[in-house]
Homo-oligomer: A and B are copies of this chain.
Amino acid sequence: MSAETGTGPRRHAGVDGDAAVRAYIAEHAGDFLTELKQWLAIPSISADPAHRGDVAASARWLAEHLRGTGFPVVEIWETAGAPAVYAEWPAADPQAPTALVYGHHDVQPADPPEAWHHPPFEPVERDGRLYGRGASDDKGQVLFHTLGLRAALAASGAAAPPVTLKLLVEGEEESGSPHFAPLLRSRLDRLACDVVVVSDTTMWAADVPSMCTGMRGLTDCEISLYGPDGDLHSGSFGGAVPNPAAAMARLLAGLHDDDGRVAVPGFYDDVVELTGAERELFGRLPFDEDAWLATAGSRAAAGEAGYTTLERVWARPTAEVNGVWGGYTGPGGKTIVPRSAHAKVSFRLVAHQEPGRIQRLFREHVERSVPPGLRAEVVFHGPGVRPCFSDIDAPEVRAARRAMERAFGTEVLFTREGGSGPEADLAEILAATLVFVAVGLDDDRIHAPNEKVEVDLLLKGAEAAAYLWSELAGARSGAG
């Protein structure tokens, strides 16, 4: 059914492009899994200094693998932390767009080891699943790109991808990507691209393929209210001096109005509202709210009026009280007016809220809210994380959706994610459109014992990746 052509990747002749891609992937699936298992065997735990050498070995393994795939440029980029791997394969056509694939080669710790039914770094296949730390998050999803690229080149017979293809696979994502934004800024010339393809998320379900189109940003702070110089006896002073704990309660209660909207003036100014099409597509996801509540261990859903639970966690900004403390917290009672009270508050942000502006608005809100006689301090933990967002009608998103739909043979829906990663930095610093092409599942147990990936989904990911570059090249030329 197939014949080698020249020294490049093998080409399937005599079948249509998709069939050739599928055939290639089916033929090479075994080798692909063997290679992935080699990589998964390297315990590249970025959070653990004892595994620093393993993270470096993981980078070297990937670099070698990319060279073997055919990338003419492969480099290991050292950072102040763990190394990233960069690769580049220019398109034959100098006018072709440039796409950058983002992923990470570091993994979560595997504690507790006794909770794994197989050792976390001795990957095994069983019942169509590949078990091992990093199988889904993110080595499996990085590696499907090389299989997909090989398949695309084999199917098309081309010597280079139809876009200039770049890969940036960082080594500190599981440690909060502390050196990632500086790395992007220092390598802007090398990383320039039109679109960033992120393969580090999940789909709705194995039988409901979907693409993420946004991630909420985040900024969080600690608030302190200071009152009397020391705790006061409430018999002598209670009811006649301002109480920081009561004032904190009023401040925190004032974070939301009665409709569950964040009551910080200006908070919603820059929010991109959901479109009717997005809401309709979200609404078609088979969401089981009771199951979701059971997962949360919560007895009720609650939030901003007028939005569904999915819309609330994906597409609406929030203010959340993460912690609060002050005054007497020991056994029994102590009738004091406490000297101070403290709270941790975090804001989930959606496009185009700027963390810096939200920080300023909240500081001003606190200053306006603090009663006479109390002093407020608001300390934000760093600059925050920007939200990221892709328009579902953007040509790049539509192109990626077509690639996914060709691979899965069914309509691809849209999701978002409630949390945040380094993706917003990618979009912001590289000024590129984000598209999420990923095949993880929520039950892959990433960050937990017995992480796995569904092998058939991984191969569908490779297939989508095989179609992606020509779809993107066509979308750009069509749009340009």
**Number of contacting residues on A, CB 8 A?**
81
A313/B218 contact (C-beta < 8 A), A249-B249, A297-B228 known? no
**New A-B contacts (13) at CB < 8 Å, excluding given A235-B417, A242-B298, A246-B256:** A220-B333, A228-B297, A238-B318, A239-B313, A240-B313, A245-B324, A248-B324, A320-B337, A322-B333, A322-B334, A324-B341, A327-B344, A335-B346
Instruction: Check if A234 sits within 8 Å of B300, measured CB to CB.
Output: no
Q: How close is A297's CB to chain B, nearest CB, in angstroms?
A: 3
- In the bound assembly, the distance between CA atoms of A374 and B301 in angstroms comes to 10
Within 232-261 of A, Cβ neighbours of B (below 8 Å) are at 232-243, 245-246, 248-256
Within 360-376 of A, Cβ neighbours of B (below 8 Å) are at 371-375
Interface flag for A329 (CB, 8 Å): yes
Instruction: Check if A324 sits within 8 Å of B322, measured CB to CB.
Output: no
Q: Which residues of B contact A251 (CB under 8 A)?
A: 249
Q: How close is A329's CB to chain B, nearest CB, in angstroms?
A: 4
A238/B348 contact (C-beta < 8 A), A243-B321, A253-B254, A324-B324 known? yes
Question: B-facing mask of A157-173, CB < 8 A → 1, else 0?
Answer: 00000000000000000
How often does this chain occur in the complex, in copies?
2
- In the bound assembly, the distance between CA atoms of A477 and B124 in angstroms comes to 101
Q: Which residues of B contact A298 (CB under 8 A)?
A: 227-229, 232, 237, 241-242, 373
3 smallest A-B Cβ distances: which pairs?
A: A300-B373, A235-B419, A229-B297
A373/B326 contact (C-beta < 8 A), A220-B335, A234-B320, A417-B235 known? no
Instruction: Check if A249 sits within 8 Å of B321, measured CB to CB.
Output: yes
Interface flag for A205 (CB, 8 Å): no
Q: Which residues of B contact A255 (CB under 8 A)?
A: 246, 249
Within 290-315 of A, Cβ neighbours of B (below 8 Å) are at 293, 296-304, 309, 312-313
A254, A298, A299 — which one has the most chain B CB atoms within 10 A of its CB?
A: A298
Contact of A313 among B238, B249, B334, B371 (CB under 8 A): B238
Question: B-facing mask of A271-301, CB < 8 A → 1, else 0?
Answer: 0000000000000000000000100111111
Which residues from chain A sit less than 8 Å from chain B, CB to CB?
Answer: 216, 218, 220-222, 227-230, 232-243, 245-246, 248-256, 293, 296-304, 309, 312-313, 316-318, 320-329, 332-338, 341-344, 346, 348, 371-375, 381, 417-420
- In the bound assembly, the distance between CA atoms of A371 and B341 in angstroms comes to 24
A419 closest partner in B (C-beta): B235
Instruction: Check if A324 sits within 8 Å of B323, measured CB to CB.
Output: no
A346/B234 contact (C-beta < 8 A), A246-B321, A303-B240 known? yes
A344/B321 contact (C-beta < 8 A), A235-B417, A237-B298, A242-B300 known? no
Q: Which residues of B contact A419 (CB under 8 A)?
A: 233, 235-236
A323 closest partner in B (C-beta): B327
Instruction: Check if B253 sits within 8 Å of A296, measured CB to CB.
Output: no
Instruction: Check if A327 sits within 8 Å of B329, measured CB to CB.
Output: no
Instruction: Check if A338 sits within 8 Å of B325, measured CB to CB.
Output: no
- In the bound assembly, the distance between CA atoms of A325 and B344 in angstroms comes to 11
Q: How close is A16's CB to chain B, nearest CB, in angstroms?
A: 41
- In the bound assembly, the distance between CA atoms of A284 and B228 in angstroms comes to 27
Q: How close is A120's CB to chain B, nearest CB, in angstroms?
A: 22
Instruction: Check if B322 sits within 8 Å of A325, measured CB to CB.
Output: no
Q: How close is A101's CB to chain B, nearest CB, in angstroms?
A: 24
- In the bound assembly, the distance between CA atoms of A239 and B255 in angstroms comes to 12
Contact of A329 among B229, B301, B344, B348 (CB under 8 A): B344
